[in-house]
Amino acid sequence: MADTTELPNPSTPLAFLPPALADQVELSRYLLAATLGAYVWDIALNLGNDFALLFKHRVRFPTIVYFLSRAFTLAFVLTSFIYSVAPVRDCNALAVGYSACFVLSQTATAMLFFLRVTAIWQPSRFAFAVFSILWIAVVGAGITIPLGVRGVHIGPTAQCIMTTLPADTQVAVIMPLINDTAIFFAITYRILANTIADSPVARLRVVFGGTGPGLSALSQALLQSGQHFYFVAVATHITLLVLLKLPHLPPY
């Protein structure tokens, strides 16, 4: 911490941090601002579809889960951004709050894919039991984050910084990765089993090209959308795991 009498602007929060940490905090603010902007833009692009889904079709449980996933994800990104840039009265309470939003977002999103995979494997009770256990494991792993995360004010200012990230946070990243992988391969296998492709090459063409004999438009959409989500999820989860494993990096 620098002496406030030596600072030209003692109210600047980053002046109370070591230079390397201050750079990381500033970079994280840019990242959160870009993420918030991208997500709001995505919501705007899908307003027409979401309006039709909500008011022109019967609202069922999957519809409710979809909108909960949307809402909790927006809440997580927004509260994380506020935590990083705005003056806050209770940093620790807000840190727990945005961590809870993360858990709820992850839980609702995992439920969407649980509904997808169990619908594809219906009426298999074994598949329902396996993916129910995996979904519960995702929820349990995510709860470790709000239980352990801590935040404080930066010096005498009203802005916040995270000080403690629980060691078992890695579990909250690993379990969704395991769940996403299991769902991806389960759906892919089920779709391939229902095609009439009779050779490994033809089946690979179905997997990577999304086209093949006997592949319906619905199956093609399920396969391709699942691939898009899975590959993004794998990339982000692995990146986060690498960052968490680097011992010289601070919690931020």
For the entire predicted model, the pTM comes to: 0.85
Class of domain 13-245: mainly alpha
A 10 A CB-CB count for 168 gives 12
pLDDT of residue 1: 46
* Per-residue confidence band for 29, with pLDDT thresholds at 50, 70 and 90: very high
pLDDT in tens, 39-98: 999 999 999 999 999 999 999 999 999 999 999 999 999 999 999 999 999 999 999 999
- Calculate mean pLDDT across residues 205-209: 66
pLDDT in tens, 121-179: 999 999 999 999 999 999 999 998 888 888 899 988 899 988 877 767 788 889 999 99
For residue 123, whether the previous peptide bond is cis, meaning omega lies within 30 degrees of 0, is yes
* Per-residue confidence band for 218, with pLDDT thresholds at 50, 70 and 90: confident
Please provide the average confidence, as pLDDT, over all residues in the chain: 86
> What are the C-alpha distances in Å from 48 to residues 53, 56, 58, 218?
9, 11, 16, 21
- Calculate mean pLDDT across residues 9-33: 85
Q: Which residue has the higher pLDDT, 115 or 229?
A: 115
Indicate the SS3 state at residue 123.
coil
